[in-house]
Amino acid sequence: MRNLFLLVSSLFVFTCCAQQNNLPTFKNTGNPLIKDKFTADPAPMVYNGRLYLYVGHDEYYDGQDGASGGKEFNITEWLCYSTADMQTWTDHGSVLKPTDFAWGVGEAWASQVIEKNGKFYYYTTVQAGEPYNSKVVGVAIGDSPTGPFKDAIGKPLITDDMTDNGARGWWNDIDPTAFIDDNGEAWLSWGNGTCFLAKLKPNLIELDGDIQVVDVPRFVEGPWLHKRGDMYYLTYASMGRGKETIAYATAPSMAGPWTPQGELTGMAENSFTIHPGIIEFKGQWYLFYHNAVLTIDGHAGAIGRRSVCVDELHYNSDGTMKPVEQTQNGVAKK
């Protein structure tokens, strides 16, 4: 029986490796990292020695260049890429679509995946149909980093009636970031125009307590939570001189107080938006973001045709982050 178990286990591992080996791969040749598709809103996750990168797929459509009011963006799926060394990347293709949620109507914005106890939780921005008719935060769950993912609760996790709309109205609840602290407590942050923060229950699919507002300067959207040592970081897209930049705040705990630390980057080339994703991988910290410098099939980069990039991230002795230069070389082979 033991030999049979070992044989089955070996076949399973072999099959998984064979499936991954059959997937398309590409080499890192500098920024933008992904050059065959328009991609945006990068969200990295590390699991079992690999870095998984989840991105929105910016897709061109006729009339896009004349669109406004958020219709410049056309994301109908989220893609996943992975790497063991930051140089050779595997393309896992589409791993989730907004229409995978029964209440989703086919429009997606930023997302993030986190892992707990071998389960993978995909927090997403989705345009919801009746009775919501607004942007909401959904959560899907899967048994592997690449899915398949299924709606975890059969309804949105965050809806428009749960938060103060402020100036942003029906698209206030976007761009979720999730974070599990060293003590096991889980947190969710999101928002456009207002930065919301809430604790999650241990099951990661329910809120645990009231929704808080974090007051940080010039917050626009795209929050990202991470921790290094004893310091907590809230990094986000802030309003610069006519376009977004990346700024951040630090705190001694998730309860705050959050101290603004200024800008981490300048504005993204050719892009109004920018979106941070921060991760440590094999002893090096990285900042993922997007610009809009690619031209694909004759279509130049634009507000809704962006391109994901990555550069190294370094820290000062006091724990603050050193400003990141957005480079063309990106992450070089070491």
Q: How many CA atoms lie within 13 A of 233 on its CB side?
A: 23
Our separate counts of H helices and E strands in the chain read: 1, 22
pLDDT band at 332 (very low <50, low <70, confident <90, very high): confident
Q: Which residue is listed with tokens 């063309």?
A: 328
Are 110 and 189 contacting, i.e. CB atoms less than 8 angstroms apart?
no
Strand partners, 232: 227, 251
Tens-place pLDDT, residues 196-254? 999 999 999 999 999 999 999 999 999 999 999 999 999 999 999 999 999 999 999 99
> What order of strands is seen across the sheet that includes strand 149-151?
104-116, 119-128, 134-142, 149-151
pLDDT band at 6 (very low <50, low <70, confident <90, very high): very low
Q: Which two tokens stand for residue 108?
A: 């997606």
pTM score > 0.85 for this model? Answer: yes
Check residue 5 and give its pLDDT: 38
For residues 303 and 202, give the distance between their C-alpha atoms in angstroms, rounded to a whole number: 37
CA distances for 82 relative to 24, 49, 300, angstroms: 11, 10, 26
Residue 146 reports pLDDT greater than 80: yes
Question: Comparing C-alpha atoms, which of 267, 183, 194 is closest to residue 227?
Answer: 183
CA distances for 284 relative to 31, 227, 269, 317, angstroms: 18, 14, 25, 16
Fold of 37-313: Tachylectin-2; Chain A (2.115.10)
Biggest distance spanned by C-alpha atoms of the chain: 68
> What order of strands is seen across the sheet that includes strand 307-313?
277-281, 284-291, 307-313
Question: Comparing C-alpha atoms, which of 256, 279, 94, 89 is closest to residue 177?
Answer: 279
The CA-based angle 179-185-188, given to 5 degrees, is 40
Are 273 and 259 contacting, i.e. CB atoms less than 8 angstroms apart?
no
Q: Which residue is listed with tokens 């004893």?
A: 230
Cis peptide bond upstream of 32, omega within 30:
yes
Residue 69 reports pLDDT greater than 90: no
Q: Which two tokens stand for residue 23?
A: 């997937």
pLDDT band at 164 (very low <50, low <70, confident <90, very high): confident
